[in-house]
Amino acid sequence: MRHPTLGHFFVTLLTLVTAVGALPETPEYFKSPPSTPPTISIPKIQRELGPQLSLNSLIFGPSDPRWPVATHRYQLTNPPNIQIVVQPAQESDVSKIIKYCNRNSIPFMVVNTGHGFTYTLGKFKGLQIDMKLLTKFQISSDKKSAFVQGGVYAWEVMRTLDKAGYITATTSSNCPSVIGPALGGGHGRVEGLYGLVSDNFISLNVVLADGSTLTDVSSKNHPDLFWALKGAGHNFAVITSFQIKIYPRRSNLWHWHNYYWTADKRELVLSEMSKLQFNSSVLPLFTGFLTISYNFTHSSTEPTLWYSFVWNGSPEEAEAVLAPFNAIPALDQYQGDLPYPEIMIPQAAPFFVPCGSFGANFSGATGFLTKINLTVEKKIYDLFKAKCEETPELKQSARLFYEGYADKGIKALDDKSSAYPHRERNHLVFFMAVAPTEGLKAAADSLGEKIWKLWDEGEGRKKLAVYVNYTIGKAFETLESVYGYDGWRLEKLKKLKRRYDPGNKFTCVPGQLTGQQAGQEASGAYQYSRAPMGGQLLHVQVPEALHLDGWLVRKVGDTGWICMKEAVGPLSQKTWILSNHDQAQKRPLVE
């Protein structure tokens, strides 16, 4: 049946984009010399750096009312120790800030929208360069490309282009910036047609670790750096703006179809997912996500399967492709049609952590498979269920997640065309759990490592790969697993690292060529993402409020405005996502 409502503004944990951190096998020339940064004086930095920056730039510390929004993070486990925030109003300010930091031995970190997920960000202590004021987005006169600054959110690009009849490659979540995930490659719903986000770069304007500026980094200008920025970009530079390809929109609506199955249908569903992925070169229009978790609406004793399929085209085309899935008896199912900017609404289960949540302590393990090994997946399921029964608190949030994207656009490009190493891999997978206590985190960490080893076992001689944007900072995430086992790619990246960042300033991420050793403080920058709205998942009754573009808006006490949107899914109560970061949401607020 078709669900009549649009649903809430959720995003799946697959938007844990641009998570990068420390690895054990780090060459000596990638290690920062041990140093103790000076005590940061906010008035001193305001006095010395402030006059150098353009009008409307901001410098503030923890006592400023803007601090909570500026330092809000998706991941609360080992967060960075931000001591001062600088928000540049012009791209040219970024160079001045970095040069000032270098002269004064102040570690710096560049933030777009705060989705950095790796535990090793907790080693950072210093100055945050917040890109949120760099929000220019403009379609070119020939309608073949767009100019995007570093602080622009993916949802802004999606909506603006859709209204103009165009589309571009963005990640599957609309919460992060465009550039943060793109530096690691950038998987998304249109990659079957157009490849990764980074495959669509035309040129980039960058600031290097010494504060020098390079404009128009492209296949013609600084081609080696351009190559490195497409898949390993977190290691090399801060991207202040870029030019990206855009395309005429293929269709006005996307078809979506969500299923809930009992766990005994697991092998059938995984088998059909594998077949669909195998045919993705001739079916370049789909995206499919599978979650295995406890959904108490359906069962408190057995995990439930939730599969969400979207298709860039008509429902008739989509349902023909879905015939094998429709033949599997489901607990429940919903379908509908939406414009592209809203397709991520139904493609997030009601029990997922919401986009830009107030933050949580996560535990996890991630991998990138060439194939789904059904024998191994049975072992993983049995292990997952047994551990959740042993530690019932895990049932509240633990899940196994499988992402499947049509890959024709990715595999159409030469494997050597960019630093991104995983074009032959087909399934992004991860285990994730919210673990607010040490005991629960220990249980989740242990389970995650065992699941990772089983996925690795299933890959056989290929060895398990890890997508750099999903790395967490675990010891088993080796440089080779992140940047490729073929050898030549990692060697090329090492040489480029010596050329463009000899002082090893960019050191805050896993899969990072530099990595942090135990006890060593980070002393560099990392361009990652902060969500546009903070929120939490609540079950509430519909309040009396204004309706603004599908959102309910009302004033709540002294905390400001909250936005609410109704959920998709078979829930016994209404579910809403509440936001207290409405200014970033850019919606009119009326009392």
Instruction: Output the pLDDT for position 542.
Output: 27
Question: Where is mean pLDDT largest: 44-58, 424-438, 504-518, 535-549?
Answer: 44-58
Question: What is the DSSP code string of 26-61?
Answer: --GGGSPPP--PPPP-HHHHHHHHGGGSPTT-EEE-
- Of 503, 277, 257, 505, nearest in space to 369 by CA: 277
Distances (CA, A) of 154 to 135, 476, 532: 11, 31, 10
Instruction: Output the pLDDT for position 403.
Output: 95
What confidence tier does 558 reach under pLDDT thresholds 50, 70, 90? very low
Instruction: Output the pLDDT for position 240.
Output: 98
Across-strand partners of 404? 288, 427
- For helices 42-49 and 91-103, the axis angle rounded to 10 degrees is 120
Q: How far apart are CA 100 and CA 48, in angstroms?
A: 9
User: Which CATH code of 3.90.650.10, 3.30.465.10, 3.40.50.1100, 1.10.3470.10 fits the domain covering 137-248?
Assistant: 3.30.465.10
Q: Over 90: is that where the pLDDT of 189 sits?
A: yes
- Of 175, 163, 531, 138, nearest in space to 340 by CA: 163
pLDDT tens sequence across 572-585: 233 333 333 333 33
Return the percentage of the chain with pLDDT > 70, whole number: 76
Better-scored residue on pLDDT, 430 or 570: 430
Better-scored residue on pLDDT, 114 or 10: 114
374 alpha carbon, distance to own chain's centre: 27
Instruction: Output the pLDDT for position 359.
Output: 55
What confidence tier does 138 reach under pLDDT thresholds 50, 70, 90? very high
Across-strand partners of 368? 428, 465
Positive or negative, the CA dihedral 204, 210, 213, 218 is negative
| Phi and psi, residue 274, nearest 5° | -65, -45
Instruction: Output the pLDDT for position 513.
Output: 64
- Which of these ranges, 24-33, 68-77, 115-124, 447-456, has the smallest mean pLDDT? 24-33
Q: Over 60: is that where the pLDDT of 265 sits?
A: yes
Instruction: Output the pLDDT for position 350.
Output: 46
What are the extents of the domains in the chain?
Answer: 14-134+502-526, 137-248, 254-483, 535-585
Q: Over 80: is that where the pLDDT of 419 sits?
A: yes
User: Which CATH code of 3.30.420.40, 3.40.462.20, 1.10.3720.10, 3.40.140.10 fits the domain covering 254-483?
Assistant: 3.40.462.20
Instruction: Output the pLDDT for position 520.
Output: 25
Q: Over 60: is that where the pLDDT of 526 sits?
A: no
Return the percentage of the chain with pLDDT > 90, whole number: 64
* Mean pLDDT across 412-418: 95
pLDDT tens sequence across 497-510: 999 999 888 875 55
Q: Could you tell me which residues come within 8 angstroms of residue 230 by beta carbon, excluding any fewer than 6 positions away?
A: 185, 196, 198, 199, 201, 417, 418, 419, 420
- Which of these ranges, 279-283, 356-360, 465-469, 507-511, has the smallest mean pLDDT? 356-360
- Which of these ranges, 66-75, 226-235, 363-372, has the smallest mean pLDDT? 66-75
> Does 137-248 match 14-134+502-526 at the fold level?
no
- Which of these ranges, 35-39, 268-272, 430-434, 549-553, has the smallest mean pLDDT? 549-553
CATH number of 14-134+502-526: 3.30.43.10
Q: How far apart are CA 510 and CA 468, in angstroms?
A: 7
Q: Over 50: is that where the pLDDT of 565 sits?
A: no
| Mean model confidence pLDDT for the chain | 81
Three-class SS state of 585: helix
Judge contact between 288 and 307, C-beta under 8 A.
Answer: yes
pLDDT tens sequence across 463-481: 999 999 998 888 889 999 9
Classify residue 588 by burial, with Cβ atoms within 10 Å: 0-12, 13-18, 19+. exposed
What confidence tier does 174 reach under pLDDT thresholds 50, 70, 90? confident
What confidence tier does 175 reach under pLDDT thresholds 50, 70, 90? confident
- Of 482, 513, 511, nearest in space to 495 by CA: 513
pLDDT tens sequence across 368-406: 999 999 999 999 999 999 999 999 999 999 999 999 999
Q: Where are the alpha helices (DSSP H) in 124-265?
A: 154-164, 179-182, 191-194, 223-232
